[in-house]
Amino acid sequence: MAVHIRFDLNEQLFIKDPAESDLGRRIIEHSILLFNKLGYEKFTFKKLAIEINSTEASVYRYFENKHHLLLYLVSWYYEWINYLIYANLINVTEPKKRMQVIIQNIVEASIQNPLIDYVNESLLHKIVVAEGTKAYHSIDVDEENKYGYFRSYKTLVKFIADEIGKYKPDFSYPKSLASNMIEMANNQGYFADHLPALTDVKKGEKCNRQLVKMINYFVFKILE
Amino acid sequence: MAVHIRFDLNEQLFIKDPAESDLGRRIIEHSILLFNKLGYEKFTFKKLAIEINSTEASVYRYFENKHHLLLYLVSWYYEWINYLIYANLINVTEPKKRMQVIIQNIVEASIQNPLIDYVNESLLHKIVVAEGTKAYHSIDVDEENKYGYFRSYKTLVKFIADEIGKYKPDFSYPKSLASNMIEMANNQGYFADHLPALTDVKKGEKCNRQLVKMINYFVFKILE
DNA sequence: TTCAAATAATAGTAATACTTTTAAAAAAAA
DNA sequence: TTTTTTTTAAAAGTATTACTATTATTTGAA
């Protein structure tokens, strides 16, 4: 059975919906590959166009610029996490267990079943870890926030904050803990890979398991 | 009495030491102003050169490119925090009180006495909060780490981790808690200003006080 | 089949991120 | 003080980036 999902991303993130055409889907697919290969700074629409045997001008018909493309990918990622968490929480009622499922999904999203053929979720996760903060660390953050460009991330934070509220109703910092859980998962994973002096998590296959364990430890200490 | 301090930054961060010439100091002073005004992406050496009545080529004699300039500024900032913490911990012996001083300094660094006339520490703090993660979120992070470009940040994390070790010797995650304290202070402050849905800290004059209180709460809950 | 939309191909512009050369000015050494 | 070296300013130049515009061709829906 194939499950068909279409995330409702903010329509101002793109000029023409990339999910709706073959070229659009190739843009998404190969931008994920190329962002991973080159990093955000060295990625250009020209190079992407060459990869997909198309032209710069055609790519520009889908996205205003590479910043918008990054915003699209990051939003897609958080929509996907929202979906995964939602799906994995069905039938889980105990608040503590629900928090554990959330942490698991934030960290290990990449090893879940891929959902959409043209999106390599594992590589997308790497992009979010390595480049994700660039989406909102921009001089135009306030204006972009007005346009709702960060809605998917905010939705996830709100959801987690509400779960924290269920677990401990009198807790004073649900939103901060929620956003810090996500940021910490991303950061500490990145540090394990690239700046090991900044983390106790060791690089390798069990990296994610350590991360899950650590974030669980932190979160339940704070909430106890 | 004037106190003269000269931070020993990694010499590979610059081509020619900006602290040692008038033009160099003007480059630092105005790059802090211009990064604040334009943000990292729109900042260029050309625009900086115009501000300081010099030329692009002259700026290039000090820094390889704007990424290195950002690395220099971020390193300078963390050297400064290291210094402030060191100075404010003299005569503080109780481990808990020492942790509190550290948290205070991470968050409120900007309101301490300015140290060097050509560095606006308050604006520099804003740059670190808004653009600091771009220093190490780069495709060249591994190579740059080998060159020791992140030494100042790592020194600070190591210092805090050691203090955590003094406070609670059997704690499993001293480095992760230390780096998360810094990242959290920066992030949550940025969110309060720009993405309030992601934090419980309210914007305004008491923002830093709330931040200090919250981070104290988190840290001592985790370490209790 | 026709008509509209999407794409490819091509070209072009302004700005960016540099490098190079030369000359003038300033600092250091003799 | 003069000479030498270093630093800076001025000017010009290049490759790449980040776009925009135009036109021809292809594709897909009515």
Q: Cβ of residue A24 near strand C, that is under 7 Å?
A: yes
- Residue A123's alpha-carbon distances to A21, A30, A120, in angstroms, are 22, 11, 6
The torsion region of residue B65 among left (phi > 0), alpha (psi -120 to 50) and beta comes to beta
Confidence label for A109 from pLDDT (cuts 50, 70 and 90): confident
A2 pLDDT higher than 50: no
Contact with chain B for residue A65, Cβ under 8 A: no
In a domain, B60, yes or no: no
Do the Cβ atoms of B221 and A224 come within 8 Å? yes
DSSP state of A165: H
pLDDT at B39: 96
The pLDDT of residue A115 is above 80: no
Asked if the model's pLDDT at residue A106 lies above 50, the reply is yes
Boundaries of domain holding A181? 11-223
Is the C-beta of residue B22 closer than 7 Å to nucleic acid chain D? yes
d(CA B223, CA B149): 31
For residue A185, count other CB atoms closer than 10 A to its CB.
22
What is chain B's pLDDT, residue by residue, as a tens digit (224 residues)?
A: 445 677 889 999 999 999 999 999 999 999 999 999 999 999 999 999 999 999 999 999 999 999 999 999 999 999 999 999 999 999 999 999 999 999 999 998 766 667 788 999 999 999 999 999 999 999 999 999 999 999 999 999 999 999 999 999 999 999 999 999 999 999 999 999 999 999 999 999 899 999 999 999 999 999 99
- Residue of chain B whose Cα is closest to the Cα of A157: B198
**Tokens 């050169």 appear where?**
B49
DSSP H helix total and E strand total for chain B: 10, 0
Give the Cα separation of A212 and A155 in Å (integer).
22
Q: What CATH number is given to the structural domain containing A136?
A: 1.10.357.10
- B187-B191-B194-B200 Cα dihedral, nearest 10 degrees: -160
How many CB contacts within 8 angstroms connect chain A with chain B? 131
Query: Using 50, 70 and 90 to split pLDDT, how confident is the model at A1?
Result: very low
Q: Which amino acid is at A37?
A: K
Query: Looking at residue A19, what is its pLDDT?
Result: 92
Instruction: Give the pLDDT of residue B129.
Output: 97
Count: domains in chain B:
1
By Cβ distance, the residue of B138, B158, B179 closest to A39 is B138
Tell me the CATH number at B93: 1.10.357
How far apart, in Å, are the Cα atoms of A136 and each of A95, A133, B204? 31, 6, 20
Q: Give the model's pLDDT for residue B13.
A: 95
How much of chain A, in percent, has pLDDT values that exceed 90?
A: 89
The residue with tokens 């670190």 is B128
Would residue B58 count as lying in a domain?
no
B146–chain A Cβ distance below 8 A for any pair: no
pLDDT value at position A6? 78
The DSSP letter of residue B201 is: P
Q: Could you list the beta-strand ranges (E) of A71-207.
A: none
Q: In angstroms, rounded to a whole number, what is the distance separating the alpha carbons of residues A128 and A106?
A: 11
B6 CB contact with strand D at below 7 Å: no
B66 touches strand C (CB under 7 A): yes
Say if the Cβ atoms of A180 and B158 lie within 8 Å. Answer: no
Per-residue model confidence (pLDDT) at position A110: 66
Cβ burial B164-202 (10 Å sphere, 16+ → b, else e) = beebbeeeebbbbbbbbbbbbbbbbbbbbbbbebbbbbe
Which DSSP category does B112 fall into? S
Percentages helix, strand, coil for chain B (3-state, rounded to 5) are 70, 0, 30
Predicted pLDDT at A71: 97
In this structure, is residue A95 part of a structural domain? yes
Mean pLDDT of A72-93: 95
Query: Is A139 within 8 Å of chain B by CB?
Result: yes
Contact B169, B190 (CB under 8 A): no
From the list B134, B175, B214, which residue is nearest A198 (CB)? B175
Residue A6 counted as domain residue: no
Distance between start and end Cα atoms, chain A: 42
Q: Is residue B43 part of a domain?
A: no
| Domain assignment present for A166 | yes
- Of B84, B92, B85, which is closest to residue B5 (Cα–Cα)? B84
Domain membership flag for residue B187? yes
Average pLDDT over residues A8-23: 92
* Residue in the block written with tokens 């910043």: A67
A175 vs B141, B200, B218: nearest CB = B200
Q: What is the torsional sign of CA A172, A176, A182, A186? A: negative
pLDDT for res A4: 60
A174 located within any domain: yes
Q: Give tens-digit pLDDT for A162-212.
A: 999 999 999 999 999 999 999 999 999 999 999 999 999 999 989 999 999
Instruction: Give the pLDDT score at B113.
Output: 67
Predicted pLDDT of residue A88: 95
Q: How far apart are CA B140 and CA A194, in angstroms?
A: 10
Instruction: Write the secondary structure of chain B as one string of H (helix), E (strand) and C (coil).
Output: CCCCCCCCCCHHHCCCCHHHCHHHHHHHHHHHHHHHHHHHHHCCHHHHHHHCCCCHHHHHCCCCCHHHHHHHHHHHHHHHHHHHHHHHHCCCCCHHHHHHHHHHHHHHHHHCCCCCCCCCHHHHHHHHHHHHHHHCCCCCHHHHHHCCCCHHHHHHHHHHHHHHHHHCCCCCCHHHHHHHHHHHHHHHHHHHHHCHHHCCCCCCCCHHHHHHHHHHHHHHHHHC
